[in-house]
Amino acid sequence: MSYIDINDIPMATLDKCYLDYENLYDDTNFLFLDEEYIVEIEDSNNSSCSSAMDVIEQLQTQYDLSAFQCRALHPNGVDFVDIKTELPDYLMASQVYLIPNIKNNYDIIVDFLRKNGYYLSKRGIQKDKKNRLWFELVFDPIKQLNIAQQVLNKHRYAYHTTPIQNADSIDIEGIKAQKAFKPYESYQKRVYLYIGNPSSQDYVNMMNDISMSLSSKNKNFVGDFVEYEIRLSKLPKDTDFLIDVHGYSKDFVYITTDIPTSAITNSEEKTYG
């Protein structure tokens, strides 16, 4: 496997994009490696990310990937790259990073994407309906387009829902931006917001999924949440709004600043799951 000469890579400026390794089938089952794994993210001077098509061209050339294995897709209006690498059926998930060739290629790809403006947010093993194993990596952009003007021009309110045990601290301190680790690592602290109708099926489906995930890890969790209504005009003036590239629709966004209590106009207890 040859190394990539970064100096030979054509760079194109793109406001926002991310790289992903998407499911092969709608009914794919996932086997994720070391969920506690957290990528240690270094400071980057990269102010933009390369075009998804440039990245695809380089990956296909350097790693002899087919169009099926390496594609550009566009969920939520955001470009990303879908890549699939099949693994031997005898390989255990815990052994993947012990194989020199796999570990070497993994390090090269992560470094290449990092230098092109993307960081590793998730890694794991994918198992399709034919019981084939595929290595999965997800790369998100370090920089994205700020859509604050579009959001503020069209929406007065946004919504944030959190487990009920967080309510007491929020009543005192507001909603604090935090790093996300599962299922995707975030590059910086975030507060996730929904700018649509919180009674919509997209939002209900997401909250049901979150509730079931939390209850599977904590048997004492019964699905109780608090939904906060946020007055957007009360947020700090320099607040950036960014698309949640893994959101259920384009109405899922995030900000990187704290939300003061003065911006919370209403709260309602809800149960999901």
Beta-carbon-side half-sphere exposure of residue 31 (alpha carbons within 13 Å): 15
Q: How many residues does the chain have?
A: 273
- Mean pLDDT of all residues in the chain? 77
- Percent of the chain predicted with pLDDT > 70: 74
Of the candidates 162, 194, 197, the one whose C-alpha atom is nearest the C-alpha of residue 178 is 162
How many Å apart are CA 243 and CA 249, to the nearest integer? 9
CATH topology for the 148-271 domain: ADP-ribosylation fold (3.20.170)
For residue 160, what pLDDT is reported?
Answer: 97
Q: Which helix (H) or strand (E) holds 268?
A: strand 264-271
Could you tell me the two tokens for 80? 């990303």
Higher pLDDT, 55 or 102: 55
Of the candidates 116, 91, 124, 92, the one whose C-alpha atom is nearest the C-alpha of residue 21 is 124
How many Å apart are CA 154 and CA 106, to the nearest integer? 42
pLDDT in tens, 63-79: 777 777 777 767 776 66
How many Å apart are CA 141 and CA 37, to the nearest integer? 19
Domain map (residue ranges) of the chain: 6-141, 148-271
How many Å apart are CA 52 and CA 49, to the nearest integer? 9
Contacts of 269 (CB under 8 A, 6+ apart): 164, 224, 225, 226, 227
